[in-house]
Amino acid sequence: MPSASECAAHNRSSFEDEFFQFLRIPSISTLPDHASDIARAAEFARDQLALAGLESVELIEGDGHPLVYGEWLGAPGKPTILIYGHYDVQPTDPIDEWISDPFEPTVRNGQVYARGASDDKGQILANIKALQALRQASGRYPVNVKVLIEGEEEVGGEAVTAFVKSNPTRLAADAALVSDTAMYMPDTPTLCTGLRGMVYTEWFARGAARDLHSGLYGGVAPNAVFGLIELLARCKDSGGRVLIPGFYDDVEAPSEDEKASWDTIDFDEEGYRRNEVCASTLTGEPGFSVFERIGARPTFEVHGLPGGFTGPGAKTVIPAAASAKVSARLVPRQNPASILQLMREFVAEHSPQGIEIDVRLIHTAPATMVATDHPAIRTASRALEEVWGRKTVFIRSGGSIPVVGDFQEHLGIPTVLMGYGLPDDALHAPNEKFSLRNFHMGIASTARFLELLGAPE
Instruction: Give residues in contact with ligand BES (CB under 6 A).
Output: 119-120, 153-154, 156, 180-182, 195, 198, 363, 365, 397, 399-402, 427
In the shown chain, the binding pattern of residues 167 to 206 toward Mn ion, with x for contact by CB under 5 A and - for none, equals -------------x--------------------------
| Residue 182's binding partner out of ligand BES, Mn ion, none, with CB under 5 to 8 Å set by partner kind | ligand BES
Phi, psi of 149 (to 5 degrees): -125, 130
d(CA 295, CA 255): 13
Identify which of residues 153 and 174 has a Cβ nearer to Mn ion in the complex. 153
Residues in the interface with Mn ion (CB under 5 A) total: 3
Identify which of residues 16 and 119 has a Cβ nearer to ligand BES in the complex. 119
Identify which of residues 52 and 195 has a Cβ nearer to ligand BES in the complex. 195
In whole angstroms, how close is the CB of 180 to Mn ion at the nearest point?
4
152 contacts Mn ion (rule: CB under 5 A):
no
In whole angstroms, how close is the CB of 241 to Mn ion at the nearest point?
27
In whole angstroms, how close is the CB of 23 to Mn ion at the nearest point?
14
| Residue 400's binding partner out of Mn ion, ligand BES, none, with CB under 5 to 8 Å set by partner kind | ligand BES
In whole angstroms, how close is the CB of 148 to ligand BES at the nearest point?
15
In whole angstroms, how close is the CB of 76 to ligand BES at the nearest point?
33
| Residue 142's binding partner out of ligand BES, Mn ion, none, with CB under 5 to 8 Å set by partner kind | none
Helix 122-138 to helix 35-51 angle, to the nearest 10 degrees? Answer: 20
| Residue 365's binding partner out of Mn ion, ligand BES, none, with CB under 5 to 8 Å set by partner kind | ligand BES
In whole angstroms, how close is the CB of 398 to Mn ion at the nearest point?
12
Per CB under 5 A, the list member of 119, 150, 174, 425 interacting with Mn ion is 119
Burial label, 349 (beta-carbon count in 10 A; 0-12, 13-18, 19+): exposed
120 contacts Mn ion (rule: CB under 5 A):
yes
- In the complex, residue closest to ligand BES by CB: 399
Identify which of residues 198 and 418 has a Cβ nearer to ligand BES in the complex. 198
Identify which of residues 8 and 178 has a Cβ nearer to ligand BES in the complex. 178
In whole angstroms, how close is the CB of 42 to Mn ion at the nearest point?
16
Using CB under 5 A as the criterion, which residues of the chain lie in contact with Mn ion when the complex forms? 119-120, 180
